[in-house]
Structure 1
Amino acid sequence: MSAPTGRGPLDVLVVYVPVGDTDTLLEALFAAGAGAVGDYRECAFVTPGTGQFRPVDGANPTIGAVGDLEKVAENRIELVLDRSLRGAVVAALRAAHPYEEPAFHVLEAAPVEPV
């Protein structure tokens, strides 16, 4: 797959993932075309933190048990992607993420005039 140039309308993807699954998720996102900035590829910002959740009836949690509050060492990943790749990148995220319901958001980046 040819990497996008990052010169069209951009989105910013923010996703939270257990620390041990970070590299696997990044590889899937990069393979789908995310993380391209001009002449650079595999660009991302990764910040550690603690995620928490309580699975309720009907959930099939990867970590923890239904009814129990769980706190997990996670990384917050931020990267850009060409807006035209949004569907493919989100599909790659869902396929590679270990959680039944991954927490993420996609933001549309405001256009910036070239320098």
Structure 2
Amino acid sequence: MAPTQYKLIFRVPPSHLEVCKQAVFAAGAGAYPGGMYDECCFEVLGMDQFRPTDKSTPFIGKPGQLERVAEYRVETLCVGEDVMRNSVKALRKVHPYEQIVIEVVQLVDIEGSDFY
């Protein structure tokens, strides 16, 4: 039985894009089954909006002030639950934000299904 596959998605400021990608790649993310490709990801630059409260210590911005900043959204594959969990741990160690946007989506193999 093939290991479960996950899509790891996170947002990161441009200043920390490469260090975050390298951390998750070192944990095994971005490698496709069969060993033919590694360090694979999709990234797109977009705008994020947030307002830090007085309870925060923001990396960017000031408490009470609405911020709009450029961030990358990065998507990469994690083959196996251990790779996914280790990649999230590695990302948390190097990401500059105190509240990180991280999504993990379990992928479903539809080969042989009735989907077109």
Please state which band the TM-score falls in when normalised by the shorter chain: 0.7 to 0.9
- Name the TM-score, length of structure 1 as normaliser: 0.87
Which of 99, 104, 107 lines up with 1:106 in the alignment? 104
Is the 1:9–1:111 Cα contact (8 Å) retained in structure 2? Answer: no
Q: Structure 2: give runs of 5+ residues left out of the alignment.
A: none
Q: Amino acid of the residue matched to residue 108 of structure 1?
A: Q
Following superposition, the deviation at residue 88 of structure 1 comes to 1.0
Is the 1:32–1:89 Cα contact (8 Å) retained in structure 2? Answer: yes
User: Which secondary structure state, in structure 1, belongs to the residue aligned with residue 88 of structure 2?
Assistant: helix
Following superposition, the deviation at residue 104 of structure 1 comes to 1.4
Counterpart for residue 3 of structure 1: none
Following superposition, the deviation at residue 35 of structure 1 comes to 0.4
Indicate whether 1:90 and 2:85 are aligned. Answer: no
Q: Structure 1: give runs of 5+ residues left out of the alignment.
A: 1-6
Q: How many aligned positions are there?
A: 108
Indicate whether 1:73 and 2:70 are aligned. Answer: yes
Structure 1 runs of 4+ aligned residues shifted over 6 Å read none
Counterpart for residue 21 of structure 1: 16
